[in-house]
Amino acid sequence: MAARIDIYLAIIAAWKAKDIDAVLSHMSDNIVWHFAAAAEPPLRGKASARKFLTRFGADIAEVRWRVFHHAEAGNRLFVEGVDELLTPQGTVIAAPYAGVLDFDGDLITGWRDYVDVGVMAAQRRGEPLSAQVLELMDKPAI
C-alpha cells in the first residue's frame, strides 16, 4: 500500500498534466467528493467526478496546485495547501484550502475540500489576491 500523501501527489501531477483518467484511477467507483464542502453538494461516483473535472479543467491553462502540510491517521489523509490556477484569459485564481481524504486500500472513497468559494469568485471577477491569501500562499510546498 502506498503512502496516502504519495497517492495525493500523484493526483496533483496527473491534474497538472490534464490526465483525467489518471486522476480518476485513484478514486473508488463510489467516491463521495465534496469539492467545496458546505458550499456545493458532493459529487457521487466516478462519472460525476469525470463530468466535473472535464468542465472545470476546460477553464484552466495552467495548474499550480501545491501542498504545504499533511498528516496521515489510519485510513485518512489531512492536507493543507493552495489550489492555484491560471485561466486561459490570464487570471490567477488562488484558493488556500484544507482537505480530508478517506481511503480504502489505495483508493479514495471520500474527499472533502474546505475552501472559500467567495475568494475564488472575487478573483474570477478580476479582484486582486488579498493580503491574507498571499500570506497563506507564501509557504514552501512539500
CATH classification of the domain holding 41: 3.10.450.50
CB neighbourhood size of 43 (10 A): 20
Identify residue 141 by its one-letter amino acid code. Answer: A
Q: What domain range is 70 assigned to?
A: 4-137
In a domain, 99, yes or no: yes
Res 100 pLDDT > 90 = yes
In a domain, 20, yes or no: yes
pLDDT given at position 30? 97
> Residue 83: how many CA atoms within 13 Å on its side-chain side?
21
Q: What band does 67 get if pLDDT is binned at 50, 70 and 90?
A: very high
In a domain, 61, yes or no: yes
CB neighbourhood size of 110 (10 A): 19
Structurally, how many domains does the chain consist of? 1
In a domain, 142, yes or no: no
In a domain, 112, yes or no: yes
pLDDT given at position 2? 79
Indicate the pTM of the whole model. 0.94
